[in-house]
């Protein structure tokens, strides 16, 4: 099912950031992810689409080992970032998560000040030597998340007091503040209104300059708008993976076609 037929030249030259081989995920007895092979490129937005319960979020959470916190969850197969197996026993998931940032479905700022929300990651990873440096990191992260102008005068105000869209951008700022190489986004706009969604989408496009972004979304329009590569999941299988334009215009698999035309899902 793995599509590698029609890669445009521009994408071929890009290096593969994350590559997975035969990934299986089990929740207890349930086989949630079956044989997923995927190559995620650097400085690209990759969208995971598919009906609810198809395993796209589960697969996303494998990439920074957030599934470790779920007791019944077992992951088999090979997931490599820059050629390193992230499920190697020598890998500390804490170190991995500093490298692979994550933005969650529901905005979840810490009930602390805006400043402390962004500064938390750099603080625990020791990224700054003094207050001035930390201030710089916070400002850069907030600017990159396109929220600096809205909050620069109230950095000490609680992050939970912001609007939904602002909270989500704050969470993105928090994620980019630790200088990750990969940014995972699990339906980042599902709790946002259309205006906030547009802002976050614009932001995702900018983040592509520096990061490899993987986004799970329920909205096919969103996948079409923000991503360069799209993976379609169905019942735990990766059905089709390829350039977004091609997936949406000439899908190869009948299931993909049914989904994007609205017949299943």
Partner 1 sequence: MTDTRHMSLLVRDTRTARRNRAETRFRIYGLAAIAIGLTMLVILLVTIVGRGSGAFQQTYLSVPVTLIEAKLDKNGNRDPADLKKVTTFGYGPLLRSAFEQMVDDGTIRTDLPAKKIAGIVSDGAEAQVRDAVLADPSLIGQTVTFEFLASGRVDGYLKGRVSRESIANDKNISAEQLDIVDQLRTAGLLEKRFNLAFITGADASDARPEAAGMGVSMVGSLFMMLVVLVLALPIGVAASIYLEEFAPKNWITDIIEVNISNLAAVPSIVFGILGLAVFINYMHLPNSAPLVGGLVLTLMTLPTIIISTRASLKSVPPSIRDAALGVGASKMQSVFHHVLPLAAPGILTGTIIGLAQALGETAPLLLIGMVGFIASNGPDSLGEGLLSPNSAMPAQIYEWAKRADPAFYERAWGGIIILLVFLITMNAVAVLLRRRFERRW
Residue ranges binding partner 1 (CB under 8 A): 64, 66, 69, 71, 94-95, 97-98, 101-104, 106, 108-111, 120-121, 124-125, 160, 171, 174-175, 177-178
- Torsion-angle region of 70 (φ positive above 0: left; ψ -120 to 50: alpha; else: beta): beta
- CB of 217 vs partner 1, minimal distance in Å: 18
- What is the token pair recorded at 211? 């990061």
Q: What is the 3-state secondary structure (H, E, C) of 178-194?
A: CCCCEEEEECCCCCCCH
Q: Which is nearer to partner 1, 183 or 223 (CB)?
A: 183
Strand order in the sheet with 182-186: 84-85, 73-81, 16-27, 30-41, 237-243, 229-234, 45-49, 212-216, 182-186, 100-103
Q: Which is nearer to partner 1, 45 or 170 (CB)?
A: 170
Q: Which is nearer to partner 1, 136 or 254 (CB)?
A: 136
- CB of 29 vs partner 1, minimal distance in Å: 17
- CB of 107 vs partner 1, minimal distance in Å: 9
- CB of 26 vs partner 1, minimal distance in Å: 17
- What is the token pair recorded at 23? 């990934």
- CB of 167 vs partner 1, minimal distance in Å: 10
Report yes or no: 233 and 55 within 8 Å, Cβ to Cβ. Answer: yes
Q: Which is nearer to partner 1, 106 or 152 (CB)?
A: 106
Q: Which is nearer to partner 1, 38 or 171 (CB)?
A: 171
- CB of 84 vs partner 1, minimal distance in Å: 16
Q: Which is nearer to partner 1, 56 or 97 (CB)?
A: 97
Report yes or no: 207 and 123 within 8 Å, Cβ to Cβ. Answer: no
Q: Which residue, among 165, 114, 176, 105, has the nearest Cα to 141 in the 3D structure?
A: 176
Cβ-based neighbour number of residue 141 at 10 Å: 25
């Amino acid at each position: 099912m793995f599509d590698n037929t029609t890669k445009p030249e521009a994408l071929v030259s890009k290096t593969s950031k994350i590559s997975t081989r035969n990934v299986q995920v089990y929740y207890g007895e349930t086989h949630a992810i079956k044989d997923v092979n995927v190559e995620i490129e650097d400085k690209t937005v990759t969208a995971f689409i598919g009906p609810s319960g198809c395993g796209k979020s589960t697969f996303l959470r494998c990439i920074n080992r957030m599934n470790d916190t779920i007791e019944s969850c077992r992951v088999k197969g090979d997931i490599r970032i820059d050629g390193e197996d992230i499920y190697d026993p020598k890998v500390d998931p804490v170190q991995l998560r500093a490298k692979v940032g994550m933005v969650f479905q529901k905005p979840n700022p810490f009930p602390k000040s805006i400043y402390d929300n962004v500064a938390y990651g750099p603080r625990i990873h020791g990224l700054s030597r003094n207050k001035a440096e930390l201030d710089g990191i916070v400002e850069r992260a907030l600017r990159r998340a396109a929220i600096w102008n809205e909050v620069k005068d109230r950095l000490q105000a609680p992050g939970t007091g912001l609007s939904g869209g602002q909270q989500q951008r704050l969470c993105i700022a928090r994620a980019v503040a630790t200088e990750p190489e990969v940014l995972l986004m699990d339906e980042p706009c599902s709790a946002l209104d259309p205006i906030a969604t547009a802002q976050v989408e614009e932001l995702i496009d900018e983040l592509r300059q520096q990061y490899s972004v993987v986004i799970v979304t329920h909205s096919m329009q969103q996948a079409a708008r923000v991503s360069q590569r799209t993976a379609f999941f169905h019942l735990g299988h990766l059905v089709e993976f390829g350039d977004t334009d091609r997936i949406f215009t000439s899908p190869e698999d009948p299931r993909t076609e049914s989904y994007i035309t609205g017949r299943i899902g």
